Amino acid sequence: MPLLREFVAGRGLDAGISVTEGCGHATDLARAAVAAGCTRVVSVGGDGTMNEVAQALVGTPVTLALVPCGSGNGLARHLGIPLAAPAALALAAEAGARIATIDTGTANRRPFFNAMGLGFDAEVSRRFSQNPRRGLPAYAGTVLRLFARRRSEPCLISAGAEREAIEVLLIAVANSDQYGNGAIIAPGARVDDGRLDLVAIRPVGLLGAAELGARLFLGNLDRSRLVRHWRGARFRIERPAPGLIHTDGECHEEGATIEVVVLPGSLRVAAPAV
C-alpha cells in the first residue's frame, strides 16, 4: 500500500486507492469506478482479483490495467505485462499505453479471462486457495498431495457439430495459453482470436503425469496422446453430476452441464507495445 500511495503522489495522478474487504468486493469497487467516469481501473493482486475487477469492465470503454501480485499471473504473463510492481505501475499509468482488446470466456455465465476448469483442475484450485503459502512450490505441493487421491469421470464434450465421450482427469478451457509460471496448458491459444481452447486430459499414472508435467513447461502438451485439444467459440461439457469448477482459480459449485461461450473483443487491457 505505501508503494501505491507513493507512486500516485509522485506522479501527481488523479487516482484513488481502494482496498478489497472480501469476496466480490473488487467487482463492486470496479463498478463504482465505471459509474464515476474512470477511464482506467487498476487491479493489484492475483488472478482472482483480476477476474473480479475485469468482470465489471466487460463491454465498457474502461481499460483494465494489471499489477500482478499473485502466484500464477497467467493473463499478465501471456500479455507480457511486467511482473515487477514498479514497472507494472508505470505501464498502468502510461496514458499512451497500447490497448489490447481481448476476449472473455463464460462458464454458465461466470466470466473468466485466463482459464476455467473442472475435475482435478478445480480440486487443485480449491485446495490451493486454502493454503497460506503461495508461489509455484506451494502449488506443485498441492498437486502432488492430491494426485494420490485423483479420480476420473466420464464426460461428453460438444464442440460445434462434434461430440465426443471421453474419460477425463481434468478439463481446462483456456483464453490465454497458460496457467501461469510458464505452464502452457493450451499451446497456440490467443486472447484475441474470438476462440477458446478446450484441453481434456485422460486418466494418467505416475509416468504419464511426469510426461505431461514436462510437456506443460516445454509448451508441447498438445502433442501427447493423453490430451485432446479443441478450439472453438462454444463448448458444452456434460458430466455425471454437479460439482466444482473454477474460473481464474476461484471455485464455484455448478451443475452437471457446463456451457462455455466466448465473448469476442469484450475487454480492454493496457499492455506493453508489441
pLDDT in tens, 49-83: 999 999 999 999 999 999 998 878 999 999 999 99
Cα separation, 41 vs 271, whole angstroms: 13
What is residue 232's predicted lDDT score, i.e. its pLDDT?
97
Cα separation, 3 vs 237, whole angstroms: 44
Do 117 and 223 have their domain in common?
yes
Do 194 and 259 have their domain in common?
yes
What is residue 202's predicted lDDT score, i.e. its pLDDT?
96
Query: Rounded to the nearest 10 degrees, how much is the dihedral formed by the CA atoms of 233, 34, 252, 119?
Result: 40
pLDDT value at 129 more than 80:
no
Would you say residue 114 lies in a domain?
yes
Do 88 and 190 have their domain in common?
no
Q: What burial class does residue 74 get, using C-beta atoms within 10 Å of its C-beta: 0-12 exposed, 13-18 middle, 19+ buried?
A: buried
Span of 132-141, 151-160, 217-226 with lowest mean pLDDT: 132-141
Q: What is the value of pTM for the model shown?
A: 0.91
Do 133 and 12 have their domain in common?
no
Query: Where in the sequence is the domain holding 119, given as residue range(s)?
Result: 110-264
Would you say residue 123 lies in a domain?
yes
Mean pLDDT score of the chain: 91
Task: Tell me which of 164, 250, 253, 254 is the catalytic residue.
Answer: 250
What is residue 177's predicted lDDT score, i.e. its pLDDT?
96
What is residue 197's predicted lDDT score, i.e. its pLDDT?
98
**Active-site annotation holds for 250:** yes
What is residue 104's predicted lDDT score, i.e. its pLDDT?
98
pLDDT value at 30 more than 80:
yes
